């Protein structure tokens, strides 16, 4: 009962952290004009989440509609579900507006601010134009590698039969489209327009003045009241956006010069897979997973993840897992790296802290993401002696016994009952061998079947390993361990098997097998089988005291 209460007490902080992670609210842009539409995105971590209460929005906004997007991903057996609810809003007035905290089930979002400016184009001339194309870049000053959100809006107050909308371009920068098009309505110059809004992520590659070439639109407008318009007699319409300039700055001198340059809006670094009880064993791998998430950075620009040097363990990195997505109009990048940490000695295994320097473009300051250090207590592997424990034992055996111990009578030894048990087992074994010889000699020679030198259980396991055609390291590791366990059942891993073998080709072959298994690749099957073709070369062999009076149990 005490252990159950202890487990529950340790689980309470984890439950509190899980419950503390609530829904997140964000806007697709922070500044809009009067009459324009803004999208409120509410992200929760469960695809079956409750619908939020939108009634607090009606004081300052007109709710035009909602949309829901579900996503589900499984990485290393871990299920991650996300639901994003998009709410199209139109501000009722200009000025500084605050989207209040919204209730989503038992949790609430955080407040979000929005600046509503007076419409910059309310003239009659703008209202008379049937098609208008506008582009906007945010921010207007950025660092090399920082994402620039380019928003493209197509306004049209006519019926379009067809149309082609181009993409922006910028020399010396990477341009990629972000998310899906948004459709809404807006009033300009007293005239209602349909609006198509599209976002692009622009990543400048060098410092200086970045010129964003404007896209263009070409289409055909039709009049529903004109019967000839149904036969291709529409009027051509076109529009071109304005050319924009963005100032691109060099990497600041106050950033870490030897670290990777990561200009992001948000960044998180974490490590998972540590033993819950803080304990491990020699030769048994500890699988750790390091994950890096960034907002405003694609996964291609994120640095490779690695663990610091760990004394007392071999580290084998797995294949990296990468992915990307969007958070509103900002791209998101994810890099995940697995590591197999194999302890090589007993004691305290210290995993040093991992730090990652990055630049927060929102606050324009350098920051450091840190994974704290951890200690794991490593015990001896099952079936093998702990390194360092053998030396004192051997040293003790060389020390001459004390005089009192020599003078003690043999009958006082606590091992006396074991001697009688050993003698009884020896007598039974001798009787079994004598009976086998007696009845075996009475059989005719032609009826005697040849007896294998190997134990019956060992032969199938040995043949399965030597005849295996699989090239994977996991299969070879499993077959080799299964063969060894028929001889020494106490072995629990190939690491323990390596410690039980004499130093030489077989230990090198197991080391090669573990590197191929945990670091990826294909194991050299021919070299592995050649090392064990003649059986196991154990480090401790029974002493050869000369021929005994009894015939061998498995005659040659």
DSSP for 490-549, written as a single string: T--SHHHHHHHBPSSHHHHHHHHHHHHHHH-S---HHHHHHHTTT---BSS--------S
- What pLDDT, on the 0 to 100 scale, is given for residue 34? 66
User: Cis peptide before 51, with omega less than 30 degrees from 0?
Assistant: no
Residues of the chain with pLDDT under 50: 1-20, 120-125, 384-415, 444-454, 542-549, 556
Q: Are 483 and 465 in contact (CB under 8 A)?
A: yes
Assigned token pair, 419: 């001697």
Q: What is the pLDDT of residues 386-397, one digit of tens each?
A: 444 433 333 333
Which of these, 270, 265, 251, 275, lies nearest to 335 by C-alpha position?
A: 270
Q: What is the pLDDT of residues 321-374, one digit of tens each?
A: 999 999 889 999 999 999 999 999 999 999 999 999 999 999 999 999 999 999
Domains of the chain, earliest start first = 19-117 (2.60.40), 124-249 (2.60.40), 263-379 (2.60.40), 458-531 (no CATH)
Q: What is the pLDDT of residues 280-301, one digit of tens each?
A: 999 999 999 999 999 999 999 9
Report residue 536: phi and psi, to 5°. Answer: -90, 140
- What pLDDT, on the 0 to 100 scale, is given for residue 101? 92
């Amino acid at each position: 009962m005490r252990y159950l209460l202890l487990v529950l007490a340790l689980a309470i902080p984890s439950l509190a952290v899980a419950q503390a992670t609530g829904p997140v609210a964000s806007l697709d842009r922070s500044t809009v004009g009067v009459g324009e539409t803004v999208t409120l995105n509410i992200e929760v971590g469960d695809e079956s989440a409750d619908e939020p209460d939108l009634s607090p929005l009606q004081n300052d906004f007109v709710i035009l509609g909602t949309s829901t997007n579900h996503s589900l991903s499984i990485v290393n057996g871990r299920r991650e579900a996300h639901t994003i609810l998009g709410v199209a809003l139109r501000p009722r007035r200009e000025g500084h507006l605050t989207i209040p905290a919204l209730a989503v089930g038992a949790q609430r979002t955080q407040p979000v601010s929005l600046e509503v400016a007076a419409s910059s184009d309310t003239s009659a001339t703008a209202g008379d134009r049937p098609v208008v194309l506008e582009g906007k870049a945010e921010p207007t000053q950025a660092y090399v590698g920082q994402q620039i959100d380019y928003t493209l809006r197509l306004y049209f107050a006519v019926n379009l039969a067809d149309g082609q909308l181009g993409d922006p371009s910028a020399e010396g920068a990477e341009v990629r489209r972000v998310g899906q098009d948004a459709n809404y309505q807006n009033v300009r110059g007293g005239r209602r327009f349909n609006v198509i809004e599209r976002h692009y992520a622009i990543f400048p590659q060098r410092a200086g003045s970045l010129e964003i070439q404007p896209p263009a639109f070409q289409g055909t407008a039709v009049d529903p009241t004109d019967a000839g318009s149904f036969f291709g007699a529409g009027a051509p319409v076109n529009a071109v956006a304005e050319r924009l300039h963005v100032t691109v700055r060099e990497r600041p001198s106050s950033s870490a010069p030897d670290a990777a340059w990561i200009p992001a809006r948000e960044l998180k670094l974490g490590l998972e897979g540590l033993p819950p009880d803080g304990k491990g064993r020699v030769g048994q791998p500890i699988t750790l997973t390091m994950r890096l998430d960034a907002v405003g950075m694609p996964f291609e620009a994120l640095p490779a993840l690695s663990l610091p040097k760990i004394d007392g363990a071999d580290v084998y990195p797995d294949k990296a897992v990468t992915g990307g997505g969007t958070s509103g109009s900002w791209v998101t990048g994810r890099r995940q790296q697995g590591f197999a940490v194999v302890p090589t000695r007993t004691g305290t295994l210290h995993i040093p802290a991992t730090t990652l320097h990055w630049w927060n473009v929102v606050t324009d300051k350098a920051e450091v993401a840190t994974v704290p250090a951890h200690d794991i207590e490593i015990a001896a592997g099952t079936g093998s002696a702990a390194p360092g424990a053998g030396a004192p034992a051997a040293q003790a055996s060389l020390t001459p016994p004390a005089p009192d111990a020599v003078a003690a009578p043999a009958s006082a030894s606590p091992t006396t009952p074991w001697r009688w048990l050993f003698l009884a087992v020896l007598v039974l074994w001798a009787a079994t061998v004598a009976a086998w010889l007696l009845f075996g000699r009475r059989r005719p020679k032609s009826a005697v079947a040849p007896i294998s030198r190997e134990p019956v259980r060992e032969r199938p396991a040995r043949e399965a390993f030597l005849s295996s055609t699989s090239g994977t390291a996991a299969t070879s590791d499993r077959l080799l361990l299964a063969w060894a366990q028929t001889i020494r059942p106490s072995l629990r891993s190939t690491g323990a098997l390596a410690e039980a073998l004499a130093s030489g080709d077989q230990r090198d072959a197991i080391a090669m097998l573990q590197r191929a298994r945990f670091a990826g690749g294909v194991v050299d099957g021919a070299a592995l089988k050649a090392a064990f073709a003649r059986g196991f070369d154990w480090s401790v062999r029974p002493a050869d005291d000369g021929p005994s009076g009894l015939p061998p149990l498995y005659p040659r």
